[in-house]
Amino acid sequence: MIAGDDDRPDMDSRESIDFFVDCFYERVLADEQLSPIFVDVAEVDLAIHLPHIKNYWCKLLLGEKKYQRHTMNIHRKLHGKRALRAEDFQRWLDFFSATADAHFAGKRTERAKQVAKKIAANMEQSLGARSDPLRSE
C-alpha cells in the first residue's frame, strides 16, 4: 500500500477514541470468553465504565487529564474475584488490535496498539496470570 493511500482516520481526537472504545466493547461484550468477566464478575455498568475508559485512552493518546484512577488496583480487585488468565489478556489484545485496524490507521493508532500490548503484558505479569492448560489444546 502506498503511504497516504489509506483513508482510515487516525485515533487523534476524542471523537475517534470514543468511537473506537464503543466498537471495541461491542466486540468484547459479544465474546463468550471475555463477556462473563465484564458482565458477571466485574458487573460493569457501561454508563459508568465507558466514559472512564474513553478518558483513559484520551489521556494516553491525547494527553488529556480527565482520567485519574489507578488501573492496576482496579484489576487486582477483579483478579481477586476471578483469576484473570494469560488467554484473557491475549484475547483482549487481539480484539483491541483488530478493532483498531478495522477502523483506524496512523501514528496514534499504532501507538494505541503498542500501549495496549504493554498494558496487557504488565497486567498479566503483575497479576501472575497463568495459562489455562485446558485451553491450550
22-75 residue pLDDT tens: 999 999 999 999 999 999 989 999 999 999 999 999 999 999 999 887 777 787
Does the pLDDT at position 82 exceed 60? yes
Whether 95 is in a domain gets the answer yes
Does the pLDDT at position 81 exceed 50? yes
Q: How confident is the model at residue 83 (pLDDT cuts 50, 70, 90)?
A: confident
Whether 98 is in a domain gets the answer yes
Reading the block at residue 81, the C-alpha cell is: 474475584
Whether 103 is in a domain gets the answer yes
As for how many domains the chain has, the answer is 1
Whether 136 is in a domain gets the answer no
Does the pLDDT at position 17 exceed 50? yes
Whether 7 is in a domain gets the answer no
3-state secondary structure the chain: CCCCCCCCCCCCCHHHHHHHHHHHHHHHHCCCCCHHHHHHHCCCCHHHHHHHHHHHHHHHHHCCCCCCCCHHHHHHHHHHHCCCCHHHHHHHHHHHHHHHHHHCCCHHHHHHHHHHHHHHHHHHHHHCCCCCCCCCC
Q: What is the pLDDT of residue 74?
A: 80
Whichever domain contains 70, its CATH number is 1.10.490.10
Q: State the burial class of residue 104 (Cβ atoms within 10 Å of its Cβ: 0-12, 13-18, 19+).
A: buried
Backbone angles phi, psi at 59, to 5 degrees: -65, -50
Whether 45 is in a domain gets the answer yes
Q: What is the pLDDT of residue 25?
A: 97
12-21, 53-62, 78-87: range with lowest mean pLDDT: 78-87
Whether 110 is in a domain gets the answer yes
Whether 120 is in a domain gets the answer yes
Residue-range definition of the domain harbouring residue 30: 14-127
Predicted structure pTM score: 0.87
